[in-house]
Structure 1
Amino acid sequence: MRKILTILTVTCSLLGVVSCQEDELDLKNPNALTTDQFWVTPNDAELGVNAIYAMSYKDGLWSRWMSFRLDLTSDEGFSQSPWIELADWTRFNYINYNFWEGNGVTWRDTYKAIFRANQVLANVPDIEFDDATRKQSILAEAKFLRALNYYYVGLLWENAPIILEPSKPDDLPMQSTQQEIYSQAELDLNEAFEDLPLQWDAENLGRPTKGAAKAMLAKIYMQQRQWGAAKTALDFLVVGEGANYSLVSNYKDNFTDINENNSESVYEIQFGDQRRGGTGEGPNAAVSSTRAQFFAPRGIGWSDGQARFWLVNAFKQELTVDGNLDPRLQHSLFYPDLFEDFGDKTYSRDWEWGEDEAWFRKGARDYKRDNEDYFSEVNWRLIRYADILLRYAEVLNELDMTADAYQYVDQVRARANMAPLATAYPEIGNDRDLFLERLKIERVLELSGESVRWEDLKRWGDLETQESVDAIAERDPDFKNFEIGKNIRLPLPQVEVENNPNMEQNPQY
């Protein structure tokens, strides 16, 4: 804007003999509405809140790079990409803090989503609505989405700005702590909860509900080990007014475009393949996911992201009550013995095999095609009820209510035809530590490759001591590069630090 104004000023000076009147420069571009022109009608408000959701389709967030940050950086995944710098950003070799695909684009798109939420929250209150309830629910959606993005700011970078008003180019926001960021997200979620519905009608599926707000609150409280507050939030979903969720009978239904937004879905990213443009801001911008293309086996996709083979072995440690392999393995991972174990011929003809290699299967479209592309329409289940049940068990265990926690793990195990936990592992008893150690495995078996493992490792304190990190490194050699007190968070993009005197680079970077 300053550059444009400078050019206009110089032009007026040079062409002084031609009357360069201010009103002649004040032209309205119908294709580029100003803030005052746009935020006028209820439809503007609808478009504004929908623009926040659209950020999920951008490279930095759930379309692509968030999977690298959460799945591949954890001990569940890794990268053998020939793009060395990309692979290095999954194994804690952070050299260029401005590396776009590893850091910069996720920072940008996260704060763009927050900026769009701030625009809604700043402008929609002044718009007149005939339907006051819809006005309040739009504001609640914006608060939920702002909180969702701040949750991942706190999880990934920890120390970053909290911005609550529409940004201006010359803003120099103050840096906040992880606790302050989480506190702001809590505030937003509690306020959003009041005006979100328990359920939406069919035309609005995918928008957050009261249950989604409580689920996000539980995640935030759990990351801070505020177990009592987390239990209160989870009570709503499991035994309270919001207990309208249930596990679907077919585990696979959580990872295809069939039976989306089902009874197990607490909140999911709505993807589609109806537009096949890029990921910019054009009218034909894609609304799809590229995760499957980047995580597919060699010969099918880019295979920039793979699963650690220890996951396959974890599934095979315990058989079902009928003496068969855990059926979740078939739908969670691609691996060389898939046909031998399950009679599953998927991809076997085209794979380029390596010894003891595995790939994430969730979100793949092998059930209806034999290749991947950049336009996957499979919704991403960001929060499933199975996750809620396992979290509830974890919270109860932390509150010395271990005996009460078993039933919620058993609900998840029963769908996979696994024996009750007390039957399979009687030695656990009411030992809180033993229960947590088993629960860590239960979460892997149910949720592997679903972008929750990184937050789990942080919450459990497994990234805080050299002993625990060394144990992780036995199953994921990339953790030999992990530095205690440093790599538990990402570096801030260096350009943000250099351009803002109110920002300091994260510790040890």
Structure 2
Amino acid sequence: MKNLKIYFFITVFMMIGFSCSEDLLDVDNPNTPTVDQAWKTELDAEMGLNAAYNMFYKPSTWTRWIYFRYDLSSDEGHSTSPWGELADWTRFRYFNYNFWDGNNWHWRDFYKAIFRANQVLAYVPSITFADAAKKDRILAQARFIRALYYFQIALLWEDAVIVTEPSEPDDEPEQRTEAEIWALVEEDLNWAKDKLPDQWDDANVGRATKGAAKALLARAYAQQKKYPQAKAELDWLVTGDGKQYYGLVADYRDNFTHTNENNIESVFEIQFSDRNKGNDGDNLSASMGFQRTQFFAPGGIGWQDGKARAWLITEYKKELTKDGKYDRRLLTNIFYRQAYKDFPDAANNDTLVYNRKWDVGAWANETFIKKYSTYYYRDREDYHAPNNFRFIRYADVLLLYAEALNETGQTAAAYQYVNMVRERPSTNLQKLEVAYPAIGNDPVLFKKRLQMERSLELCFEAVRWMDLKRWGLLTTQAGLDELRSRDVDFDNFTLGKHHRLPIPQIEVDNNTKLDQNQPY
């Protein structure tokens, strides 16, 4: 009887199975809509845009590896990582053009972010919005994000591909010149800047604003030596209507902690959080933490893969403050052995290393990157630091404005904007003309000093490589000699080659219209 019952139920289930309509088995997954199913509503547009913003939270972009390209490859930092290939990619030893963490991952995810922005730009125009201005704001943010990533592509590889429509796996986009990529960056940001709000409400803080678009556009112009155009964009932030939204915080350190984020000095800020401690995937539990700190912290606290160059300490000490002390930006930016002697009046958690005395045996006389670390409230790092990354600070805007003025024959007018940075209450340095009277109105001397001012203010903020390229230090023998005097890794640097990365070889192999950057 038992066996007969079993056979009976098997027969019934088989009959049901054969009699079911195949349509009932064709069920859509609401979590993975197709293009035809999505892009119908305002909510779809918002979700698509958020997916583009989400690319900031990938190891290849602003959570981890980008700082190896911009900070550690520059003369401000270096790597002693036991992972030899990782360290070699900060020393211009590119033996494997397919090194995932130093090259391929950047290329893939930059274009993945561009793909997501392109989807917004392709599909949102056909969606009906109750408020047309809201649609424009969504499209403007997508253009800002696309421009931001093409900026990095122009900076790192120069010649690359341009994709402005949602792509397919078998597409073979043509190779385009660096000039064409900059032209697209300009086009996107010029379209976006006046459609973005001056500010967002609290629920949307962190989204691109008019000031962010203008500042990024000014950077793009400056990289191409278009200084009059760069100044024109920065006018709005420095002397125009946008001036009301920006300023300098009194305490320099407040720009790098999680306790005073999105302050008046923030022009564009990537919003990190330690609430999700998941992985790096595209899911609801994915990490949104800042991972750089884990890789730069001293051994026993982090991985110490990235370190500061000691010449910065020497430069900070060359000039005392108005009250005869050392520049406190040094204490904020670098862990070093003698900090407690140089800053005897500082709080313990500033002169100690994550509440520890200097480990002479393990750390010797190393100099570690302190900026953005979480030493001020915990004892060690992890992959989920909550500190927002200040992608563009107002101090950067002021110094770039001074550079644009100097480059357009207005050296005397440029001093005041450098002085605003130097005289920040926590920095408290003399005016530039008092400290360096020999500069006068000589634009060459002013430019040289401004280069050091930018480093002392902005070191380890992923702008140094951009600056070195703009100033010609990576493309002239005199510039290379200067860099070699500060950083022995530049002994490996070859003029005409290492100012840009090789294109990932797998991309060249898979695209018949793409050639490897020469002379790689």
TM-score, with length taken from structure 2: 0.92
Distance 1:353 1:341, change over 3 A: farther
Taking the aligned partners of 2:249 and 2:357, their CA distance within structure 1 comes to 31
Name the residue aligned to 2:512: 501
Q: Deviations over 1:363-385 (max 9, x none)?
A: 10011001000001100001000
Kindly provide the amino acid, as one letter, of the partner of residue 241 in structure 2.
Answer: E
1:17-28 mapped onto 2 (5 Å cutoff): 27-28=27-28
Taking the aligned partners of 2:367 and 2:177, their CA distance within structure 1 comes to 38
Kindly provide the amino acid, as one letter, of the partner of residue 403 in structure 1.
Answer: A
Match of 1:380 among 389, 394, 415: 389
Name the residue aligned to 2:405: 396
> Is this contact kept in 2: 1:296–1:364, CA < 8 A?
yes
Q: Deviations over 1:337-367 (max 9, x none)?
A: 1111124123343645544421111110011
Structure 1 residue 36 displacement after superposition: 1.3
Name the residue aligned to 1:357: 366
> Is this contact kept in 1: 2:508–2:515, CA < 8 A?
yes
Name the residue aligned to 1:346: 353
The answer to whether the aligner puts 1:325 opposite 2:336 as a matched pair is no
Structure 1 residue 288 displacement after superposition: 1.1
Kindly provide the amino acid, as one letter, of the partner of residue 392 in structure 1.
Answer: Y
The answer to whether the aligner puts 1:123 opposite 2:123 as a matched pair is yes
Name the residue aligned to 2:99: 99
| SS of the residue 2:61 aligns to | coil
| SS of the residue 1:40 aligns to | coil
> Is this contact kept in 1: 2:63–2:292, CA < 8 A?
yes
Q: Which runs of 5+ in 2 are unaligned?
A: 1-17, 345-350
Q: Deviations over 1:266-300 (max 9, x none)?
A: 00100001111110112211011100000111111
> Is this contact kept in 1: 2:307–2:368, CA < 8 A?
yes
Taking the aligned partners of 1:449 and 1:236, their CA distance within structure 2 comes to 27
> Is this contact kept in 1: 2:117–2:142, CA < 8 A?
yes
The answer to whether the aligner puts 1:462 opposite 2:441 as a matched pair is no
Name the residue aligned to 1:301: 302
| SS of the residue 2:109 aligns to | helix
Name the residue aligned to 2:432: 421
Taking the aligned partners of 2:203 and 2:452, their CA distance within structure 1 comes to 38
> Is this contact kept in 2: 1:334–1:359, CA < 8 A?
yes
Q: Deviations over 1:198-248 (max 9, x none)?
A: 111111110111100010011000000011111101111101121121000
| SS of the residue 2:194 aligns to | helix
Name the residue aligned to 1:183: 183
Identical columns (%): 56
> Is this contact kept in 1: 2:298–2:363, CA < 8 A?
no
> Is this contact kept in 2: 1:470–1:480, CA < 8 A?
no
> Is this contact kept in 2: 1:309–1:356, CA < 8 A?
no
| SS of the residue 2:49 aligns to | helix
Kindly provide the amino acid, as one letter, of the partner of residue 331 in structure 1.
Answer: T
Distance 1:313 1:444, change over 3 A: same
1:305-316 mapped onto 2 (5 Å cutoff): 305-316=306-317
Taking the aligned partners of 1:22 and 1:218, their CA distance within structure 2 comes to 58
Taking the aligned partners of 2:20 and 2:201, their CA distance within structure 1 comes to 55
Name the residue aligned to 1:406: 415
Taking the aligned partners of 2:48 and 2:423, their CA distance within structure 1 comes to 43
| SS of the residue 2:268 aligns to | strand
Structure 1 residue 30 displacement after superposition: 2.9
> Is this contact kept in 2: 1:39–1:127, CA < 8 A?
yes
1:443-458 mapped onto 2 (5 Å cutoff): 443-458=454-469
Taking the aligned partners of 2:122 and 2:300, their CA distance within structure 1 comes to 49
Taking the aligned partners of 1:165 and 1:22, their CA distance within structure 2 comes to 35
Taking the aligned partners of 1:131 and 1:297, their CA distance within structure 2 comes to 51
| SS of the residue 1:463 aligns to | coil
Match of 2:451 among 418, 421, 440: 440
The structure that has the greater radius of gyration is: 2
Structure 1 residue 425 displacement after superposition: 0.5
> Is this contact kept in 2: 1:120–1:142, CA < 8 A?
yes
Q: Which runs of 5+ in 1 are unaligned?
A: 1-17
Taking the aligned partners of 1:445 and 1:285, their CA distance within structure 2 comes to 35
Kindly provide the amino acid, as one letter, of the partner of residue 421 in structure 2.
Answer: V
Indicate the larger mover: 218-227 or 354-363.
Answer: 354-363
Taking the aligned partners of 1:311 and 1:22, their CA distance within structure 2 comes to 70
Structure 1 residue 20 displacement after superposition: 13
The answer to whether the aligner puts 1:367 opposite 2:368 as a matched pair is no
Taking the aligned partners of 1:39 and 1:50, their CA distance within structure 2 comes to 13
| SS of the residue 1:321 aligns to | coil
Structure 1 residue 98 displacement after superposition: 0.5
| SS of the residue 1:375 aligns to | coil
| SS of the residue 1:195 aligns to | coil
> Is this contact kept in 2: 1:336–1:353, CA < 8 A?
no
